[in-house]
Amino acid sequence: MNSHVIAYQGVEGAYSHLACKGFFPQSIAIACHTFEDAMKLVEAETAHFAMIPLENSTAGRVEEIYRKIPLLDLYIVAEHFQPVKHCLLGVKGSSIKSIKYVSSHPQALAQCYQHIIKNNFEAIAEFDTAGAAQNLKEKNDPSYGAIASELAAKLYNLEILDDDFGDQKGNVTRFIVLSKHNITPAYDKSKRYITSLFFQVRNIPAALYKALGGFATNGVNLIKLESYSLPDAPLQVSQFHLEINGHPEEKSLKLALDELTFFAKNIKYLGVYERNTYREKILTKESV
């Protein structure tokens, strides 16, 4: 997936930018103000892909993304796991003792919450981690700090006051790669896949139990099940985001999906893509 244009939310030095560089090393990365801006560039085919964060191992899911994806005509074609090592940045000549305020994206602030409290900093939410670093450079005030990457420190000529400011070791963000085109890989028995979809349940007793029952009876593993209320009927209708371990061409998954259609409605397939090898590394560590 080289020599492509990929859109991301943020400015140069953001973790989404790092994810682009890690997954698409030869591609052109375009910075966008919002997640929606990045995704709409792909919808308009101005960019080939969008690199969008879905969840973080410390702060959990990025709620906004789950609500936007079903509204857009895009597909998931890959996943990428980006290690996140937060740095506390200050202007030249500042120190941790001089810092009173610290700014960053709300997710980064959540991932550094204990350190922020410990240092009695006042947290200020920004649109982006690297954007907070950029604003810090322009402010040039030693009482202000920012939480961002080492790359952002280099780009904006800032001091790294603490190079490991995150609360959890091994912090990682899972990104999804979105495309205008549904690029479904041909089934290969030697590889492992994920099938992603959205659905709503029918108005019948035990609908969710019945909708998911086919996966259990056919021995299909569910990786993720997320639910949230729809904005036009928040107390009546829930939508579910389901990630399944497998490829639709596998007989067991095909049977399970057939059964899902009896008890679910408004099913929207988001894509089939290869499991990232990072998952196997985590499973190996957990089994030791």
Q: Are residues 93 and 138 located together in one domain of the fold? A: yes
Average pLDDT over residues 228-232: 69
Query: Alpha-carbon distance 47 to 246, whole Å?
Result: 29
Which domain covers residue 155, as residue numbers? 87-162
Annotated active-site residue in 24, 35, 175, 240 = 175
Residue 60 in domain: yes
Return the pLDDT at 230: 67
Average pLDDT over residues 1-11: 82
Q: Is the pLDDT of residue 225 over 90?
A: yes
Q: Please, what sign has the CA dihedral across residues 217, 218, 221, 226?
A: negative
Return the pLDDT at 286: 45
Q: Are residues 105 and 33 located together in one domain of the fold? A: no
Annotated active-site residue in 49, 121, 165, 173 = 173
Q: Are residues 225 and 268 located together in one domain of the fold? A: yes
195 in active site: no
Residue 186 in domain: no
Q: Is the pLDDT of residue 284 over 70?
A: no
Write the CATH number for 106: 3.40.190.10
Q: Is the pLDDT of residue 102 over 90?
A: yes
Last residue of a domain, one of 153, 179, 205: 179
Return the pLDDT at 236: 61
Q: Are residues 64 and 132 located together in one domain of the fold? A: no
Q: Are residues 125 and 152 located together in one domain of the fold? A: yes
Residue 210 in domain: yes
The average confidence (pLDDT) of the chain is: 90
Residue 75 in domain: yes
Q: Is the pLDDT of residue 148 over 80?
A: yes
Spatial CA neighbour of 275 closest among 95, 22, 76: 76
Number of domains comprising the chain: 3
Model confidence at 232, pLDDT cuts 50, 70, 90, reads: low
Write the CATH number for 197: 3.30.70.260
Residue 185 in domain: no
Please indicate whether residue 102 or residue 237 has the higher confidence score (pLDDT). 102
Return the pLDDT at 136: 97
Spatial CA neighbour of 9 closest among 64, 57, 60: 64
Q: Is the pLDDT of residue 287 over 70?
A: no
Q: Are residues 152 and 126 located together in one domain of the fold? A: yes
Per-residue pLDDT reduced to its tens digit, 77-98: 999 999 989 999 999 999 999 9
173 in active site: yes
